[in-house]
Structure 1
Amino acid sequence: MTRVQESAGELLRRWRGHRRMTQLDLANRAEVSTRHVSFLETGRAKPTRAMLLRLGEHLDIPLRDRNALLLAAGFAPAFPEHTLSDVPMAVVADAIRTILDAHAPMPALVVDRHWNLVDANDTVALLTDGAAHWLLEPPVNVLRLSLHPDGMAPRITNLGQWRAHVLHRLDHQIDATGDAELRRLRAELADYPGGIDAAGPGPALVVPLRVRVGEHDLAFLSTTTVFGTPLDVSVSELAIETFFPADGATAEYLAAQHPRSDH
């Protein structure tokens, strides 16, 4: 079935609805009239490139979708898209590699907007050891790898709690982006066994990842880093996930796996 291409006005209306904003809300934020917003959405007025970029910013539309909005109106995309191997991305690629290497012996990885693995430091292999080979073949989806019964799931000792955390985080990401691929991924993950334990074993400020590595039970706290004010589609969609020891035993284990030499 051929999908009908949405017009710029239809895209604006859809994103405004997704953001739960009225035409008055958007008009006030963009400092234009409600009548103008209405005319743009219905196609009675032709938007300028500058106006689409302005509305896209106030609607907090992802850069990839702002390009789609411009294309729908007959304009060229405003934001480039590169891979990390492209020459313009050399500075970004070097920065990512520096962060990953400096974070050792603690695990760190980089994912794209769909949670596909872009890069990782060597310590991540400790967590994924024992996973089925097919889950480790590119493109590796780190959420699928962590929750699949053939992946890390059998070694995650707080699986129900971690599943609840992952699905809740995906819900927020889907709400922000409206990404259909993320919706499909969430539906797949929700069908995996493992249960849901939103409360966990006791009071906690953050949800740890507790995973068995050999005879050791390790616990990690995770943080997410994104690039500030990105002007490239790919850069805007990258996230660096870093893991820190949640207890002394985990810190000692990691230090033993990666002893630092004295200079």
Structure 2
Amino acid sequence: MPSTARPLGDHLREWRQRRRMSQLDLALEADISQRHLSFIESGRATPSRDMLLHLAERLGVPLRDRNPLLLAAGFAPVFAERTLDDPALEPARRAIDMVLKAHQPFPALAIDRHWTLVAANAALAPLISGIAEPSLLEPPVNVLRLSLHPQGLAPRIANLSEWRAHLIDRLRQQISVSGDPVLERLLKELLSYPAPEAANAHMPTTPASPFR
């Protein structure tokens, strides 16, 4: 997540480059002149709140990451963020629990954007019990760490090389979109784990994960 201490132009330029867009590309998407966009990025022009949010929308900036843009431009943040146990999200929590319960007798879980376990159905417990490193199950539980750690579920996964490649690829895509430093640190940690044999060249796009 970009730092709020940086100039607005740096924020916008970073998001634009992350989306592999030129100034002209973004200007056309936002229906503004390239000159005006250049002035905003260089700090020679200050966009209105509506213009800034419009640019963020065209760039696909996640809502939580639009607040730093607003702050950098001198505006108040407008996007609130709540945890799932917030009373206002009780209907959402009930819906998640209903979906998880409907998957039984098969295990199902819900995660947040950092792959932290938020909720799970009762069928998950037998699947993860008895791992070699119990601390991996201490909250907050990161499901990628739990899945790929050599003392977690990794020894139980029959096609670990394919499953690992799939998860690493998904995480890299997520980092490319979000630039989230928490995910970058997680990726670095996961890549430090001992790698299994090379993945099958004909690996399916979304492999199943059979357990031993």
Counterpart of 2:160 in structure 1 is: 159
Structure 2 unpaired stretches of 5+: none
Letter of the 2:143 partner, please give it: V
Aligned twin of 1:103: 103
Could you say what secondary structure the match of 1:157 adopts?
coil
Relative to the length of structure 1, the TM-score reads: 0.75
Q: Which residue of 2 aligns with 1:145?
A: 146
The corresponding residue for 1:44 is 44
Query: SS at 2:41's partner residue?
Result: helix
**Structure 1 stretch displaced more, 78-87 or 57-66:** 78-87
Query: Aligned pair 1:134/2:135, yes or no?
Result: yes
> Paired residues, what number?
209
Structure 1 CA distance for aligned equivalents of residues 74 and 203 of structure 2: 54
1:206 shift after superposition = 3.3
Counterparts in 2 of 1:120 and 1:4: CA distance versus 1, 3 Å? closer
Change (3 A) 1:168 1:203: closer
Q: How far apart, in 1, do the equivalents of 2:138 and 2:168 lie? A: 23
Q: Distance in 2 between matches of 1:181 and 1:118?
A: 17
Alpha-carbon distance in structure 1 between the residues aligned to 2:166 and 2:76: 39
Query: Structure 1: which 5+ residue stretches go unaligned?
Result: 213-263
Judge conservation of contact 1:159–1:194 (CA < 8 Å) in 2. no
**Residue 64 (structure 1) aligned with residue 59 (structure 2):** no
**SS of aligned partner of 1:78:** coil
Q: TM-score, normalised by structure 2?
A: 0.93
More strand by share: 1
Q: 1:255 is matched with which residue?
A: none
Which structure ranks higher in relative contact order (CA pairs < 8 Å, sequence separation ≥ 6)? 1
* Structure-2 change in CA distance of 1:180 and 1:196 (3 Å): farther
For the residue of structure 2 that corresponds to 1:56, the secondary structure is helix
The aligned counterpart of 1:35 is: 35
Secondary structure at the aligned position of 2:199 is classed as coil
User: How far, CA to CA, are the matches of 2:198 and 2:92 in structure 1?
Assistant: 38
Aligned-residue offset at 1:197: 3.1
Greater helix proportion: 2
Q: Deviations over 1:112-139 (max 9, x none)?
A: 1111111111111122112221000011
Following the alignment from structure 2 to structure 1, what is the Cα–Cα distance between the partners of residues 65 and 102?
A: 34
Backbone CA RMSD of aligned residues: 1.7
Q: Which amino acid aligns with 2:148?
A: L
Please list, as runs of the form range in 1=range in 2, the aligned pairs for 1:1-263 lying within 5 A after superposition: 5-131=5-131, 132-199=133-200, 204=204, 206-212=206-212
Percentage of matched positions with identical amino acids: 54
Give, in whole Å, the separation in 1 of the partners of 2:19 and 2:53.
16
The answer on whether the counterparts of 1:161 and 1:196 sit within 8 Å (CA) in structure 2 is: no
1:186 Cα deviation from its structure 2 partner: 0.9
Does the Cα contact within 8 Å between 2:11 and 2:69 map onto a contact in 1?
yes
SS at match of 2:211: strand
**Does the residue aligned with 1:45 lie in a helix, a strand or coil?**
coil
Asked if the contact 2:159/2:209 (under 8 Å) is kept, the reply is: yes
Partner SS for 1:210: coil
Conserved in 1, the CA contact under 8 Å of 2:100 and 2:120? yes
Q: Which amino acid aligns with 1:208?
A: A
